[in-house]
Amino acid sequence: MGKKTDRENKMPHWIIGKIDTGKVCVVSTDLSFRDQIGRVRSRLGSFRMRYTVNPSLYAVGEPDENSPVFISANYKLSFDLLRCSLKGIDAFILVLDTRGINVWCAAGKGTFGTEELIERIRGTGLDDVVRHRRIVIPQLGAPGIQAHTVHKSTGFRVFYGPVYAKDIPEYLKNGYKATQNMRTVQFNFRDRLVLTPIETVQMGKPFLIYVLSMFILFGLQPSGILFKDALNGGYHFVLLGAVSILSGALLTPLGLPLIPFRAFSLKGLVSGLVVVAAYFFLFIGGSRQEVLKTAIIFITFPVLSSYIALNFTGATPFTSISGVKKELKYALPCYILVSAASVVLFILYKMKLLELI
Amino acid sequence: MNVTMTRLRYLSDVVSLELDIARCTGCRRCVEVCPRTVLRMENKRVAIVDRDLCIECGACAKNCEPGALSVYEGVGCATAIINGMLTGGEPTCGCSESDPESNTAPEKSCC
């Protein structure tokens, strides 16, 4: 592997010892305050892209040559979930180099993959550490692992474990058998809720650019950029932008099973229309002179919500690539068309405000 | 417990999952790895019981030694597909793509 960095040389705080065979570090099964902070930070922004664990063999409790071996990714959040679920169990954890990506995503990309697993088993000398030839791979790692190839190359038989690490104690009690429930991926309200902060935060930068361009557009007068005009003309549009982002990045993910239609673009559109209409009738209200303004509001913003909602497909465990491609075939031309129309409408509206037309 | 997931279904009739039943040896591996209960054992052979639930993760095909199952495998992620269109390559969400030697993580976050 690559050069050791200073970060790797320093012992992480979650390592609590070494087992007497030598090189294997024992890790804690409790999350410290720092781990909790990391957990929150990794849900908020790009911090999660560098929240990693050194790929290696680790131990929990006091494992011996007969203890089970669990395979994990080197995304710290995945690793933390696993070690906490192994409280009271003596076991080994083999962490693969998935470039800091979680098991499911890394399996899809092949970094949580057959080759890496085989190399890591050889590199850590796992066959000298344990006498048995069983490894437990999380169910959601299966898209990256070819069990029969691993068996042929290393002698280790792959046992697919539960989707959720919390089911591991029961899985072990069952004799390495996962029930149908343990093997089925869930996506309940809480699962969706923890994903929404990052969806919203990601929109921060584009939103700032949007706010700036709105204030410039509405502040621009023959005599220069006027702050008062910028504020008066722009604030509804800025707020509508914010509302649409929340509709696509927060409301649609949370209300996923309740919002009609299966296509995410349509779900986002419905949610956007409802939210924008509510805002419009509560805070703006219709008047005949403002056809252009009303058109902008009802054309641009629901579609913005739709686009953001469509991008949530990647965060869910129930969309397929063929399905998303089909959806994009219809949605993308609409987005391009509406974007162009919106720019024209905004310019026309501004010209009308300047009494040029 | 399964209520949420049975309600959460994506588009119908788009999935590329194919089964060549003649090759199936009945090892059950595919049923074991499917996270969406698409497959079931029937008369010692596998059967597709609910195609539309399939998310094309590829786990079944990859773990099928006799090659009875095939699927166009990929991640159902609009961001990745749009990125792929823009760069003219395969769908990619920009993560995992960093050079492990340089130790720099990509700025853009994903999945």
Give pLDDT tens digits for A21-38: 668 999 999 999 999 999
Q: Is residue A171 part of a domain?
A: yes
Chain A interface, mutation test: which of B2, B57, B73, B82, most A Cβ atoms within 10 Å?
A: B57
Three-state DSSP class for residue A52:
strand
Chain B interface, mutation test: which of A320, A325, A328, A336, most B Cβ atoms within 10 Å?
A: A320
Nearest by CB to residue A147, choosing from B15, B29, B58, is: B29
Helices A321-353 and A204-219 pack at an angle, to 10 degrees, of 20
Same domain assignment for residues A202 and A142: no
Nearest by CB to residue B4, choosing from A46, A188, A313, is: A188
User: Given A185, A220, A249, which residue is the final one in a domain?
Assistant: A185
Where does the pLDDT of residue A1 fall: very low under 50, low under 70, confident under 90, or very high at 90 and above? very low
Same domain assignment for residues A119 and A195: no
- Distances in Å between the alpha carbon of A173 and those of A70, A301, B25, B27? 15, 53, 29, 23
Q: Map out the domains of chain B as residue ranges.
A: 15-70, 76-111
CA atoms of A14 and A26, how far apart (whole Å): 9
**pLDDT digit string, tens, across residues A61-99:** 999 999 999 999 999 999 999 999 999 999 999 999 999
Domain around A273: 190-353
Distance from CA of B28 to the nearest CA of A (A): 12
Between chains, do A262 and B10 touch, taking CB under 8 Å as contact?
Answer: yes
Nearest by CB to residue A2, choosing from B76, B93, B100, is: B100
**What is B15-70's CATH number, 3.30.950.10, 3.90.226.10, 3.40.630.30, 3.30.70.20?**
3.30.70.20
Distance from CA of B89 to the nearest CA of A (A): 14
Q: Is residue A300 part of a domain?
A: yes
User: Given A165, A185, A205, which residue is the final one in a domain?
Assistant: A185
**pLDDT digit string, tens, across residues A330-355:** 999 999 999 999 999 999 999 998 88
pLDDT of residue B6: 53
ipTM confidence score: 0.86
Between chains, do B5 and A186 touch, taking CB under 8 Å as contact?
Answer: yes
**pLDDT digit string, tens, across residues A210-249:** 999 999 999 988 888 888 888 888 899 999 999 999 999 9
Same domain assignment for residues A202 and A180: no
Pairing, β A69-73 against β A91-96: parallel
Q: Is residue A1 part of a domain?
A: no
Nearest by CB to residue B101, choosing from A2, A262, A325, is: A2
Q: What total of structural domains would you count in chain A?
A: 2
Q: Which residues of B touch A99 (CB under 8 A)?
A: 95-96, 98, 100
Is pLDDT above 70 for A9? Answer: no
- Distances in Å between the alpha carbon of A79 and those of A71, A96, A170, A183, A186? 10, 10, 19, 19, 20
